Structure 1
Amino acid sequence: MQDSVVPELHEVAPPMSWLRRWWRRQTPGRQDRFAMLAPLAAVMLFLAAIISAFWYLRLEEMDREQEAVRRDVEYAQQRVRLRLLERQEQLMRIARDIANKDVDPEEFVGRAETLVIQYPELQSLAWIDDRRRIKADYSAPSLPPQQQREAGDVLKPGETETTFLLVRDLQQPVYAQPAGGTELAPLLQLHVPLADQARFAGVILAEYSIDGLLRYGVPAEVSARYAVSLHDGKGRLLAGQTLPPRNTAGWLPSWVAPRTNEFEVPVTPVGNGLVLRGQAYRTSLGLVGSGLFWLVGTLSAMTAWMLIGNWRHTRRRVQAQQALIAETNFRRAMENSMLTGMRALDMQGRITYVNPAFCQMTGWSEPELVGRTAPFPYWPDADREQLNARLDDELNGRTTPGGFQVRVKRKDGSLFDARMYVSPLIDPKGHQTGWMTSMTDITEPNRIREQLSASYERFTTVLEALDASVSVAPLGSEELLFANKLYRLWFGLHTGGHLQMVAQAGVPDQPRTDESLDEVDSFVGLPTGQLTTAQSENAEIFVPELGKWLEVRSRYLNWVDGRLAQMVIATDITPRRHAEEQASAQAERAQAASRLVTMGEMASSVAHELNQPLTAINNYCNGMVSRIRGGQIREDDLLKALEKTAHQAQRAGQIIQRIRSFVRRSEPNRTEADVATMVGEAVELAEIELRRRNVRLSHYVAARLPKLLVDPILIEQVLVNLMKNAAEAIDHARRPPAQRSVELRAVPRQVDGQAVVEFTVLDTGKGLAPEVMDRLYEAFFSTKVEGMGIGLNLCRSIVESHQGRMQAENIYNGADIAGCRFSFWLPVSGAISSAANKDTGVVA
């Protein structure tokens, strides 16, 4: 007996020892958690075991009930089957007697009546020949008249037709259910075939009442225990009764809710067309209706709820304990990791506490400092009297809120600068127990401050040496935040010069009134970040007090105190302005030279043009002299000759006056000029050259064109130059007379939503080569041997000085160039900016 027990102890001991070692390795928090969860798990396992037991017993009971239902329903099916087979055998004997000619229709009726009376489930018997004619028939009195037949009738088409044919083919008894309305009692038909010398001679049709078959065929003991019913192949109820579903609410699971024990089996020899179903009446409350189940469940739930409440309470206590430990560890870690040295003194000046940072800064350890009194080992020898006086002030409560700076000696003898702050040390009861001192190493900040001071001096030196005036003033105030040497030299130490430059430059600023100084800043709500990052604004102004032209650049910035300020940088550009004026004068002289060159090239044409009126004047004068000497002139003829002579002289004078006004040098004068007038005068000048080159000129000016704010002489110079170039291009292309034409057009247009007038000069020359098109407006570039290369460049400069644009393009006729089109447009008077009044053109 002892030998058998010892091995079992050896087998159990290792797992227990392993569990004990595992338990000891767990933290106290985990042990508490496991200790609280174990009873809860035990209660839940107990509840699960009870539910499993109930569930198992319930399944066993349901299986027994199901087996009983199956057995009794099969027994009832056997009884119904035997009853049907017996009737079938009797009918087959009658069929044999009919085939042997032993039974006539009268005797058939008598035997049928005996069977119907003896077996109540039989409703009718009919003898039907092979042509479906009823030879004899007997029906029970209880059969409705609609279902009764008379001898001599013929079965209606469709009535048992399929079954009749099937019996004829099989030569065997066949069961079937006739089609009928829902108001008629369901019947079961049996067709027994008749044979006459191996030839089909008809059938004996027997009709059973399905309700009677259920009532007389099912044993009474089965009907007492079960709800027995007969159904067709589609599940429709034919006879009997069925039980409603028990879990009508549907809220219980299928394994908990009570089920109806039922079993169904087809009735042979009928087959699947007739099914016998038996449903057991409910005799038990099921698992859910068991009071013991609910009692056990309630007690288990209450036990689990109490265990969960106890566990939650314990968990909160553990959490509070862990929070306290974490807070203590956090404060200790914070004290140990902070870079600020902490020192605590009692009321007598004895050191009671130092943190690691204080020890690390001084080089002395905590045991070497705690308990020491003045003089402390980290005091420099040269500062002991001063530090002793400060310690006396600390102990007496005379502390400085901003702290004080001292020198501290390390253990190795080196010194560093430190700033100390002193505050009272209060215990949890509100009593002062000493003084807490915090010490920060400021050696590096002092070094940085010195570097910043030196950097500021260098920055100030650079700004003072700038040849530009720099001033900074806050918005909404007349305070001058910064001004360099040149600003002070020009404007002094007040903000008048700053505000004057801002006003003349057109830079937005806040109006400064006495009332606005006390109100909310008008720039409140503006995106100051975008203001300070915006690009600077440039303007050129003239300061009469200084007699200088200044280029003013301004931008917004955030001042060191957070206010939004405006910085203005002014540079003396008086020499540059003088150079620009000289360049403008040179441009004017270049324009006059261009006109002179143009007129020099047109000299022969002009001489030819003047030769005609001068020759006419000479002829008129000679003619009049001859006729006066001969006394052959009348006064009227003399007046007509003198009028013609005066007209020719006036014409010559107009030609000379037009040329003088074109070539004379004058100051640019922009006025509102009429487009038709400018085009007419330009055509009059260019027509001389075009006639000399045998080129036709046609021009078109749109009606009601707006006036242009331009210098008419300069625009006429551009038009004359373009028409002259067009005539030269046609002459150089050697076009035939029919193709030597130049067209000038002036029409209104819209360019980028702006109203402009477009001038177009169209010729029929060979156009421009691609390499020439790229360098067309380049200065001193020309395709003519004698050309200077300033004509088109000067034309484009004149057009752009009037805020316009010029372009050139070839005209194609298929793949061949059929001419060239030069066009430029000028904005109407209202679209020209005021800045265009400064210059008339720029020489590239």
Structure 2
Amino acid sequence: MTPSTATTSADPSTAAPATPPQPWRRWHSAWRRWSLWTLLVGLVGAMLITLVWLAGRYEASQVQSKLERDTADAVADIRTAFSHNLQSLQALQSGDPDLASWEHRAAGLLSLRRELVRVEWRDTQLRVRAHVETPYRVVPSDPETRAAAQSDIALACANARRIGAASYSGSYFQPQSDGMGSEMMELCVPLLENGRYTGFLTATYALQNVLVDVVATSLQRGQEVSFTEPDGTRLALVGATRRGSRMFQAQQLLDLPGTALMLRMGSWHSAPSVFPNVLTALVTAMSVALVTVMVVLVRDNRRRLRAERDLGDALAFRKAMEDSLVIGLRARDLQGRITYVNPAFCDMVGFTAQELVGQGAPLPYWPPELAQEYGARQQVRLSGQQVPPREGYESVFMRRDGTRFPVMIYEAPLINAQGLHTGWMGSFLDVSEQRRVEELSRTSHDRLQATARLATVGEMASLLSHELNQPLAAISSYASGSLNLLEPVADGAAESPHQPPLPEPLRGDLREVRTAMQRIAQQAERAGRVIKSVHDFVRRRDQSREMVTTQALLDAVMPLIRLQARKLGVQVQVAVEAGLPAALCDRTMVEQVLLNLARNAMQAMDDARIHPRVLELRVARAASNASRGWIEFTVADCGVGIPEDVAAQLFTPFFTTRAEGMGLGLSLCRTVVEQHGGFLGHARREPRGTVFTFTLPAAPAETAAAGAAALPGPASTR
């Protein structure tokens, strides 16, 4: 291995690209130039040949078209002549002429119509009553010859009788005394009188005379015309002999009643004479053009190649730079239409360059709800009243699938090579990922703060539960001692045998004091249970579950609910479905859930505009989960309802809409209900208000039957 090869293999990223040898490049460039010149000369030659060929074809088509028109005109002339002859023959019978008068009329007709050589008047049996011969041509009336034509006459007359009109026979050859002959054709015209056939008129046509007297008058020199059978057999011919190198032919069918003839017309022409003139003019013009193009190409070829090479390098560099960018680029003209976008911008918004270039306001990547604002901002920008900030500004774009994403926009004036302001160039940076990271960081920070606050709350709950247990125990002890002291006095007994009993009004007051002390003892005991439940809840201990009737749960919280209801002017309505099973739950925590939901409902109605204020508490068997045995508690209010933005984070810890709230009530309520396996949710109430619903498991049938005697009854006070 040579050193140069080793160096190239060791660092392929720095190796220079292989270039062909200089002789090969020169030969390749020369081959390209000569191939282009050869292609140009070939195209010019092909164009000249094509033009000359098209000119010849055009002249030939003109000759052929004229010949076909002449043939059609000749057929029309023959039809017209035959029609006139038919009318003249029918006029021979006008006025019921005698034989002499008829022959005189027929002789006059034959002197005018040279194509008719014989006219006969026949009876119904085709016997000749009178006949007249043409004066221009002696036709021998040989009986054998006429007998040969009799069959054609009979066929023509039979066909005329059948169709009720004139009929022609097929052509037949009639020899003459000079050894020549002529093709003849018979015409049979039926004679009718009062709807009855009285005879026939027959006329004999000489096909050669038809061509000479009817068609040849309109022929030009160099044309020939002939009658032929449909199979091509020629019957009669009139015209010039061959006078050209090329023969043009046209034919037309002459369809007559009873027979058909083919009229064929030919024209001799020499080769088109347009070739030398067109060739000389085209060659001269193209030679001048080729010389001019050659001079221009030779002079500008090198500059063009150099400019193309420089332009190719610049385009390749620009393309590589555009493909490597992750920043979107967009150019707009002074009218706000997009003139350029790079691939990064197309990937950013989801539209192709073809779909964006040429688009004006509103642009397809503008969100519909912001299109008016963006349009007004673009008008201000294009008017030159506001210069975009160099530090950029943030906006929102919409992808093709409808998703929105934030972008940072930097814009600057677009100046062309002449120093004119032609538009605006903008760069766009998708900051959705940056915003997502910032949102994640903020969310994580909020969660850390919430966790710290929850830890603090847990510590405070543990401390408060420890510190409050002693005062509550003392309150319970003092209440129990006071009840023991008040029990005999309130019942009417004297404190000592030497003292008289207390008066009745005083004993009534003492009984009320005793009732108050009993309630103080009950609430102190309940407060202790609440503190113990909170302490166990914070320390994640398993709460004790017991069977409690739904009425007992309501009775435990109703005194506090009614107390607050009287303060707020709220009417409380309680509805409990009959025959409900007992609930298997942590009684203290469920009572707190009921109390918290009821207080929130009453606070939602604390508005002077709300009247009446009704709080509904309903307990029933859950309809959707009846087979599983669930009990549904419903707390409904007539408040202003919960907005959608608040409902989305209603159960979020530390979220509250009240200045004095901590945002833990509903979150703890949902946690308590979910620990029991139930569900806590809310819904809109019609016409206004909110309905909170939570479910608790019902005690199994066997457990309920076993513990029915141990179930706590209704509270002593309501």
* TM-score bracket, shorter-length normalisation: 0.3 to 0.5
Higher Rg of the two aligned structures: 1
Normalising by structure 2, report the TM-score.
Answer: 0.33
Normalising by structure 1, report the TM-score.
Answer: 0.29
